[in-house]
Amino acid sequence: MRARKITVEVPDDLLRRAQDATQQGVTETVRRGLERVAADRAYAELRKLRGKVAFVADWKTLRAMDE
In tens, the pLDDT along 21-50 reads: 999 999 999 999 999 999 999 999 889 988
Chain centroid to CA 61: 28
Identify whether 22 is part of a domain.
yes
Share of the chain above pLDDT 90, in %: 63
Give the three-state DSSP class for 63.
Answer: helix
Helices 12-22, 26-48: axis angle to 10 degrees equals: 80
pLDDT bin (cut points 50, 70, 90) of residue 12 is very high
Q: Which domain holds residue 40?
A: 12-66
60, pLDDT greater than 90: no
Q: Is residue 5 part of a domain?
A: no
Is 61 within 8 Å of 55 (Cβ atoms)?
A: no
pLDDT at residue 59 in the model: 82
Distance CA 64, CA 40 (A): 30
Task: Tally the domains of the chain.
Answer: 1
Mean of pLDDT over the chain: 91
| Residue burial 15-27, b: 16+ Cβ < 10 Å; e: rest | beebeeeeeeeee
